[in-house]
Structure 1
Amino acid sequence: MPVKEPSFAPRPDSAEPLFCGREDQLSAIHARLRAARAGRAQLVVVQGPPGVGKTALIRRFLHEAEDVRISEASGEEGEMALAYGVMTQLVCTNASVEGLLPEDKACTAGARLLSLAGRTPQDGVAVLVVDDAHWADLASLQALTFALRRLQSERVLTLLAVQDPYDPHLPQGLSRLVGDDRTLRLTLDGLSVEQTAALSARLLPTPLPAHAVARLHNHTQGNPLHIRALLRQVPPDVLAAADASLPAPRSYGLLVLGRLARCEHPAQDLVAAASVLGLASPLHKVVKLADLDHPMPAVEQAVAQELLEERSAASPPELVFPHPLIRAAVYHHLGPARRAALHARAALVTDDPLRRMWHRVLATRSPDPALVADLSADARRQAVAGSWSGAASLAGHASRLATTTQERERLTVEAADALLCDGRVEEAAELVHSLPGDTHSAAQRYAQGHLALVQGETPTAQTLLDDAWQRCDTDADPVLARRIAERLSYVCLAQGRADDSVLWSHRADGLPPAPFSCGMLRFAQLAALGMTGEAEQGSALAARLPEPVLVPANDVDLLLGRGALRLRADDLEGSRTDLRAASRICRRGPAPPQTMTALLLGEIEFRLGHWDEATLQFETAAAVATDAGLAWLEPMAYADAAVVPALRGQTDAAAGHIRAARDSGGYGHSESAVAHVARAQAHLAAARGAPDEVAAALLPLLAGQGGTAVPPWRELLTEALIELGDHRQAEQLLDHLDDPASHRGRHSALSAAGRLRGCLLAARRLPQAAESAFRGALEHAKLIADPFERARAELDFGAFLRRTGKRTAAIEHLRPALCAFAELGAAPHAARCERELASCGHSSSAPTVLTPQELTVARLATTGLTNRQIARRLALSVKTVEFHLGHVYGKLGIASRMGLREKLTQAD
């Protein structure tokens, strides 16, 4: 590193250094700079493997730092014997300073450094930088140690970059300083996947797809130096190709091959065989592939050269490459002929069917009908087992080796189907866009329609799949016909057309099973039956299922469907049991069923009153859908995640989720997505007391009902219309809610309909009929485990009784409603309860002087929750909870929680 003149002059204009991430580490160094500016000398040690970004981090900090005098030096492996080489870089910054002589003592050189550090103008800080300190000469390190031990109140910040802070080459005194509690030690690991994506986007003309970024990250272990090297070395189309084998960076590869050349031929053969088998392989298989009679000397050499590691504790013992790039360097050095020969032999020594097939593919360089048939059969077996990643890989390999255009088209469609079932949308899109042959064939129309569905383009999917169905000969290709019918069932479900969804699912049922169907037909069928109110028919389809914990993985769609069916039938506990079991099965599986399970579990937990758990499930669904590119599910997940914050009065959080839903790719292309977002917006408006905004959000939905039973937003719209005085339209909606074909005897629907009927009759000044409707609503509400629905019935009935002069009776309903809303954290509803209670003559009681948020916090505190638990329940900080409780204690004249329960009970 060249000597840099220490100066406080402005830096010349230059391009900002290429840098990604490390915000926390930068912030920590800047904090130490502020401490140094205050007169406390600081030592920061940045450690990590070569290329991880130690120098880049320091350069970025120096680029941002202001009013600093910088003295830089760096160690060099070839100059470790040059006494005071590094110290000379630090102290000899102009011609007037005499150089250091090898015979100078460390204290003399260290004193020179102390003198330099002391020449700091007021408010300035001297920054000493030693990069690659592990390669600095011993004399310089001893002098540096002398200086650092004596820096106390000086405005000096010292930055050391080392691979290992406990390198035996470092003097003991410096090691003690590095290990001191006052020293800031920053360990740099590889970049994250997101940071790898950001770095690649800055270096390439077009961003890499997500799967390519993930592969590049795994290949380099996030090392920025290696990432940059490969981005410059490898063409973008190769980086993006799903099946391409990435090489090692050239400079890194030369180092690896140099070590390999120092091995004898048996060790070289051993390492070559290991590179063909993968990153980690059983020792005996590597030895067999390398054809070694006496393998241990070869193993010893490979380990000594750090080309392989031996894991003797594994069963059986394994040989492992220390880094993926070491394997890549060796593998790509083999040459095509030797690689193919080794893969052909590896297929004979490998037990795993998938890996055996992988070796056969890599050993083949021309179309092979027999191999294509084997690959196709194995791909279908993997699909039937729900192993979509394996199915996609096998079908993709088969398509590239197929001998006819028609066969390539069929296999490519199957590979794309498997990728979509696995949630790998970008890779599937690449395959669909590369389909060979007739672009108007039924198979291509089907593939395009399936892709459009997953990308949230529901109307486009409908058009393409309808055309595919018209073009498909169901007698000649019944498997394709079934897959088309299944997708159309999903499309109808996404559009809220449950009756049509059931129709298409029945058509699919009448055709032979399709191996690449995602296995979710039965879920769509049962979910649609639940939406149409045909719970009995759906229950019969799921009757053969055993207890949820015993359901096999290939029946998870049926379990999910039964969970959805039970949810629609108000069997909340049964539904939760089913869906929790399904969640365990789906946890490590494809993204679509994971997302659906989380969405359904969120709805169940919401209705059961477990709002924190509901929010967690909805946010999990949104994260999975976003990461997997499931545009058809993403807006629904974000919209559902907005409901609890809206009902709790957390408008910013709710609005943020709604924005995310509207910004997602699938919004606007699916009736279900639009309805979910509109319902979330209506909840937010209702929490603000804006019925006109509720109506504006929901009225447009009336035009697109399809065959779906009562959508969950109709109740919100009816309530808003009653508040706005539009009794005629509210009556029309209520007639639909009261229709037995809509409520199907469900207590939740009957409770909501009765409550709203009571509100409408009260608004029309028909008190006797209104009271009867309210009492009926409460009777139904008591039969379901839905505390929010019951509390709303209690609140509306209590408000009605108060307006008719029955204040004592009103209080009997308003008090339990207030308790329920407080437990849920539903601050806007709790505030309305407080106002109603105040109108009943409770205005002089203690709680009425509390704000709604204070009252909610106080009531939760009486349940025994800690401040942290209350904060988590209400999505507040602990300090905010403490602030509210402090105000509560002051208003109620108490000093702690001890008197809180009594005060609130007296007030009630």
Structure 2
Amino acid sequence: MSEAFVDDLGALLVTGEPGVGKTTLLDAAAARARQRGRLVLRATGVELEADLPFSALHQLLLPLRAGWDDVLEVALGGAEGDMPERAVVAEAVLALLRRAERPVLLVVDDLSWIDRASAAVLEVVAREVAFLGAARLGLGSFFRYGDMPVREIRPLTGEAADRLLRQRFPALPAAERERVLAEAQGNPLALLELPTGPSRRLRELFAPHVRALTEPARWLLLLAALDTTGDRRLVTDAGALGDLERARLLHLDDATGRLVFRHPLIRSTAIDLSTGAERRRAHQRLAELFADQPDRSARHLGEATVWPDESVAARLERSARSVLDRGDTVGAVAALTRAAELTPGPADRSRRRAAAAYVGAHSIGRLPPARQALPVPRGSLQIAVTAAHVLLNGEGDIDTAHRLLAGALADDRTMKDAGRAAVEEALYTLVSVCFFGGRPALWQPLRAALDDDSSEIVRLSHDVLADPARLTPGVLDRLDAALAGLPRETDPAWIIRLGLVAQVTDRQDACHDALERVAQGDGLAVGLNAQMLLARHAYARGRWDEAQRLADDAAARCREHGYVLLALPGRHVQAQVAAARGDDRTALAIAAELLHWATPRGVGLVRTYAWQVRTVVALGRGDFEQAYLHASRISPAGTLASHVPWAVQTQLDLVEAAARAGRTEEAAAHVAAVGTAGTRHVSPRLALLADAAAAVTAPDDRATVLFERALAAPGADRWPFDLARVRLLHGERLRRMRAVTAARAELLQAAETFERLGAEPWSQRAAAELRATAPERPGGSALTPQEGEIARLAAAGLSNKQIGARLFLSPRTVQFHLHHVFAKLGIRSRAALRDALDRP
């Protein structure tokens, strides 16, 4: 691939899991390009450097430093001056590259971790010059590759992995070789490292190497991991560097003079294996080492400090001014927010928090320019709310928005001057931040800020959204009472907020008319919110064409008006429809887009959208192990996450996937967790899903009772896709119990619903089950229903393992049945199955 790319240079992005060989391919392409006379400029994204503006661009263009013009000198930190616009920087970069003595190839590894400013410039530059980038699969990035060609580097096949292992480790015992092959799953780096340093998980691949280091070597490794720049000043002990180079973890690059990690996993492993005290001590040392770089030193000092310290807070405030002058609004807000946290005095703490809010609000031009003075306007709670809206809906910066709001609501001085309306808006904005953040710890400051004067909608939102898996009857009674008043409600914001809570508890019907009124009204933002909720309702009720139309229109209008975060629930609905209808390419592309945006920003709910879509795609394909892994990302088996609405809505997905993948213990543990949480009483739909999940893991006699109870849930037909899936599961179980007539009745109803919805993968599965219940052929050579189904799946190309997963059989049992099938049909191989089955 590297040769083909260099022979026809353009732009290309390669993706793949860690260790799959992306960097090796980039190395090969770079070497070939140099042989062809190209000037190769390289940079590598660094996770902890993603908040340093133009850090990746500086690394990329450093070999051409002599040719930097005034724009690049200022942008890349070589001179003082007003920070130029990113479009101007992009033009300066292109001009620099055009002046180069040779044609240029830009190579950027780990695009997932380059900073936002560099990403914006490279998006422009990559259209004009030869560009090769690599990004980890499943991680987002600030770099938007648009229509750039993307090539996924997949793990090695079983045969290739075995060949590599035999070549590199010829003396490895057969049993050990099989273990390594099973654990590595075709990952080349794991194949080469596991035999010498075994680890059960790829992410822990380098942990044994780090633990084996001397104390000085581990200390240097931690300093390099936390600093991210690779500055050679970190090396004060040549022996420690020698230890790291011999361990092949880190080395000093002679060409650049920078410390370079052999693999990005080593950096994260070094940090993960350190204690909090060690990290704080390392940050303190880094602050001292780089005292000549005030902003860099202040950032490290802020991380090293635990207790309030005015001197540290003041340094962070000065750094915020400097960062803001360079155009990094988000960095300035983060520095001021941390400064406020470390401020001992309440007056200065309020002032710095208000300044952070003011700067954040300025980032979309809602307030006058805030540069040197960082003034403190009156009504700082309102300003904090404005800034949090910007950070959430524009940047997607969950953590800074949360710190800003939580700090303002806990500040007595701020709250004393705030009116009740401002407090309510701040509380609900914090609800939104917590909901999209998707982490339980985010909810605690909101819980502490609630008081007797808090409105019912704020209280309901907290009580439902913070833990939708464990709702009490009292909370649900309050919700139903609020919904009863919706026909008389005229406040669009109230309707939207209640609509979200209703959606999580399957009470969308009660909100439909009110949401229609809001969607048809004049308010743009509330109208789009209403349309998103209506799209979700239409999908749940089986009106998928309507859901698609609403989501398409709402997502397009969000993009038109710059509502980045608001568009994503609509994209999720689009992906849900595509996944259920078997349009895997569209569904997976949207899921990748959601992860791409949400992962670097920590927007947990949007990541959950992507995992839910991937789960449904895998279930439709019959890839139950993959479906289980995706569903487990939403909520691990045996646990119902307290902060994720989809944890209860995808309970059947996880249990079915686990059971069919042979993970019976995990399936049973999840059923037990659902039972303990008591989700059945929340809504008829959750009763349907909970009973069906329990039936999947139950013995036959108990399963029948549970399936019948599930199907008898009041109003279950309001959720046609869910109901049809439960009928399919019931029919499959009845067929295995040889209750053929009863099985056909359930399967026919399921097939009819799937066909009406256009759920193609599920229609095919129901049809296959129905064929297996067809009357036997006359004559002694007739296949049993079990044999007939196995034969049809084998004829379709499924392996014994895949057939077993679908039919709850072991691969050995499948092979036993196929042996009888071949004998009855008078054939000798799978290749003859299709023709034999088609014979009358």
TM-score, normalised to structure 2's length?
Answer: 0.52
Q: Which residue of 1 aligns with 2:78?
A: none
| Structure 1 CA distance for aligned equivalents of residues 685 and 707 of structure 2 | 13
**Cα deviations by residue, 1:809-845 (Å, 9 ceiling, x for unpaired):** 9988763333445366132737787676677682798
| Structure 1 CA distance for aligned equivalents of residues 629 and 541 of structure 2 | 28
**Counterparts of 1:141-156 in structure 2 under 5 Å?**
none
User: In 2 relative to 1, CA 374–701 (structure 1 residues): closer, same or farther, beyond 3 Å?
Assistant: same
**Cα deviations by residue, 1:696-752 (Å, 9 ceiling, x for unpaired):** 3322223424322234112222454577798998798678658x7x5572465xxxx
- 3-state DSSP class of the match of 1:807? coil
Q: Which residue of 2 aligns with 1:206?
A: none
| Structure 2 CA distance for aligned equivalents of residues 543 and 669 of structure 1 | 30
The one of 427, 435, 439 aligned to 2:442: 427
CA drift at 1:607: 1.4
| Structure 2 CA distance for aligned equivalents of residues 404 and 558 of structure 1 | 35
Q: Which residue of 2 aligns with 1:487?
A: 501
Q: Which residue of 1 aligns with 2:792?
A: 816
CA contact (8 A) 2:615 2:630 kept: yes
| Structure 2 CA distance for aligned equivalents of residues 904 and 335 of structure 1 | 79
User: In 2 relative to 1, CA 503–692 (structure 1 residues): closer, same or farther, beyond 3 Å?
Assistant: farther
Q: Does 1:826 align with 2:798?
A: no
Q: Gaps spanning 5+ residues in structure 2: where?
A: 1-194, 199-210, 222-235, 251-267, 341-347, 355-376
CA drift at 1:485: 2.1
**Cα deviations by residue, 1:625-646 (Å, 9 ceiling, x for unpaired):** 9797435333555642342443
Q: Does 1:807 align with 2:782?
A: yes
Q: Which residue of 2 aligns with 1:745?
A: 756
User: In 2 relative to 1, CA 813–512 (structure 1 residues): closer, same or farther, beyond 3 Å?
Assistant: same
CA contact (8 A) 2:402 2:442 kept: no
Q: Does 1:540 align with 2:549?
A: yes
Q: Which amino acid is the alignment partner of residue 634 of structure 1?
A: A
Q: Which amino acid is the alignment partner of residue 297 of structure 2?
A: F
**Cα deviations by residue, 1:771-825 (Å, 9 ceiling, x for unpaired):** xxxxxxxxxxxx768764454344333xx22477673899887633334453661
CA contact (8 A) 1:817 1:833 kept: no
Q: Does 1:387 align with 2:396?
A: yes
Q: Which amino acid is the alignment partner of residue 745 of structure 1?
A: R
| Structure 1 CA distance for aligned equivalents of residues 492 and 555 of structure 2 | 31
Between 526-535 and 466-475, the greater mean CA deviation after superposition? 466-475
CA contact (8 A) 2:688 2:710 kept: yes
- 3-state DSSP class of the match of 2:645? coil
- 3-state DSSP class of the match of 2:619? helix
| Structure 2 CA distance for aligned equivalents of residues 635 and 468 of structure 1 | 23
CA drift at 1:481: 3.2
**Cα deviations by residue, 1:276-329 (Å, 9 ceiling, x for unpaired):** xxx9xxxxxxxxxxxxxxxxxxxxxx8xx525376xxxxxxx852398357645
CA contact (8 A) 1:530 1:565 kept: yes
| Structure 2 CA distance for aligned equivalents of residues 338 and 508 of structure 1 | 47
Q: Which amino acid is the alignment partner of residue 459 of structure 2?
A: R
Q: Does 1:561 align with 2:573?
A: yes
The one of 842, 846, 849 aligned to 2:823: 842
**Cα deviations by residue, 1:250-284 (Å, 9 ceiling, x for unpaired):** xx99x97xxxxxxxxxxxxxxxxxxxxxx9xxxxx
User: In 2 relative to 1, CA 326–223 (structure 1 residues): closer, same or farther, beyond 3 Å?
Assistant: farther
Q: Which amino acid is the alignment partner of residue 769 of structure 2?
A: R
Q: Which amino acid is the alignment partner of residue 531 of structure 1?
A: A
RMSD: 5.8
Q: Which residue of 2 aligns with 1:796?
A: 773
Q: Does 1:444 align with 2:611?
A: no
Q: Which residue of 2 aligns with 1:708?
A: 719
**Cα deviations by residue, 1:218-268 (Å, 9 ceiling, x for unpaired):** 99986437279xxxxxxxxxxxxxxxxxxx68xx99x97xxxxxxxxxxxx
Q: Which residue of 2 aligns with 1:232?
A: none
The one of 641, 650, 654 aligned to 1:641: 654
The sequence identity of aligned pairs, in percent, is: 15
| Structure 2 CA distance for aligned equivalents of residues 341 and 385 of structure 1 | 24
CA drift at 1:469: 5.3
| Structure 2 CA distance for aligned equivalents of residues 903 and 729 of structure 1 | 29
Q: Which amino acid is the alignment partner of residue 791 of structure 2?
A: R
Q: Which residue of 2 aligns with 1:78?
A: none
| Structure 1 CA distance for aligned equivalents of residues 795 and 573 of structure 2 | 35
CA contact (8 A) 2:402 2:433 kept: yes
Q: Which has the higher contact order (CA 8 A, sep 6+)?
A: 2
| Structure 2 CA distance for aligned equivalents of residues 344 and 644 of structure 1 | 49
| Structure 1 CA distance for aligned equivalents of residues 539 and 438 of structure 2 | 26
CA drift at 1:461: 5.0
User: In 2 relative to 1, CA 509–453 (structure 1 residues): closer, same or farther, beyond 3 Å?
Assistant: farther
Q: Does 1:478 align with 2:492?
A: yes
Q: Which residue of 2 aligns with 1:47?
A: 214
CA contact (8 A) 2:725 2:750 kept: no
| Structure 2 CA distance for aligned equivalents of residues 387 and 48 of structure 1 | 39
The one of 300, 303, 306 aligned to 2:289: 306
Q: Does 1:226 align with 2:277?
A: yes
Give the number of aligned pairs.
549
CA drift at 1:414: 1.6
| Structure 1 CA distance for aligned equivalents of residues 349 and 437 of structure 2 | 27
User: In 2 relative to 1, CA 816–675 (structure 1 residues): closer, same or farther, beyond 3 Å?
Assistant: same
The one of 603, 623, 648 aligned to 2:616: 603
Q: Which residue of 2 aligns with 1:651?
A: 664
Q: Gaps spanning 5+ residues in structure 1: where?
A: 1-27, 32-43, 55-162, 169-174, 188-216, 229-247, 257-278, 280-301, 311-317, 749-782, 849-858, 860-900
Q: Which amino acid is the alignment partner of residue 403 of structure 2?
A: S
CA contact (8 A) 1:595 1:622 kept: no
User: In 2 relative to 1, CA 648–484 (structure 1 residues): closer, same or farther, beyond 3 Å?
Assistant: closer
Q: Which residue of 1 aligns with 2:136?
A: none
**Counterparts of 1:323-334 in structure 2 under 5 Å?**
324-325=300-301, 328=304, 334=310
Q: Which residue of 2 aligns with 1:193?
A: none
The one of 231, 239, 256 aligned to 1:166: 239
Q: Which residue of 1 aligns with 2:386?
A: 377
| Structure 2 CA distance for aligned equivalents of residues 343 and 703 of structure 1 | 64
| Structure 1 CA distance for aligned equivalents of residues 588 and 472 of structure 2 | 29
- 3-state DSSP class of the match of 1:826? helix
| Structure 2 CA distance for aligned equivalents of residues 587 and 541 of structure 1 | 26
| Structure 2 CA distance for aligned equivalents of residues 186 and 498 of structure 1 | 54
Q: Which residue of 2 aligns with 1:213?
A: none
- 3-state DSSP class of the match of 1:745? helix
| Structure 1 CA distance for aligned equivalents of residues 819 and 472 of structure 2 | 50
CA contact (8 A) 1:321 1:327 kept: no
Q: Which amino acid is the alignment partner of residue 415 of structure 1?
A: L
CA drift at 1:433: 3.6
**Counterparts of 1:273-672 in structure 2 under 5 Å?**
306-308=289-291, 320-321=296-297, 324-325=300-301, 328=304, 334-335=310-311, 342=318, 349=325, 351-354=327-330, 356=332, 362=340, 363=348, 365=350, 369-385=378-394, 387=396, 389=398, 390-399=400-409, 400=411, 401-402=414-415, 403-404=417-418, 406=420, 407-439=422-454, 441-454=455-468, 456-457=470-471, 462-468=476-482, 477-492=491-506, 499-500=509-510, 502=512, 505-506=515-516, 509=519, 522=531, 524-544=533-553, 553=564, 554-569=566-581, 574-588=586-600, 590-622=603-635, 629-637=642-650, 639-649=652-662, 651-652=664-665, 654-655=667-668, 658=671, 672=685
User: In 2 relative to 1, CA 218–662 (structure 1 residues): closer, same or farther, beyond 3 Å?
Assistant: farther
**Cα deviations by residue, 1:659-692 (Å, 9 ceiling, x for unpaired):** 566677968756555544543444445xxxx532
Q: Which residue of 1 aligns with 2:97?
A: none
- 3-state DSSP class of the match of 1:449? helix
| Structure 1 CA distance for aligned equivalents of residues 237 and 680 of structure 2 | 51
User: In 2 relative to 1, CA 734–393 (structure 1 residues): closer, same or farther, beyond 3 Å?
Assistant: same
- 3-state DSSP class of the match of 2:388? helix
CA drift at 1:444: 3.5
**Cα deviations by residue, 1:342-385 (Å, 9 ceiling, x for unpaired):** 58966974644445556777455479634333322222233433
Q: Which amino acid is the alignment partner of residue 308 of structure 1?
A: A
User: In 2 relative to 1, CA 515–369 (structure 1 residues): closer, same or farther, beyond 3 Å?
Assistant: farther
| Structure 2 CA distance for aligned equivalents of residues 801 and 672 of structure 1 | 37
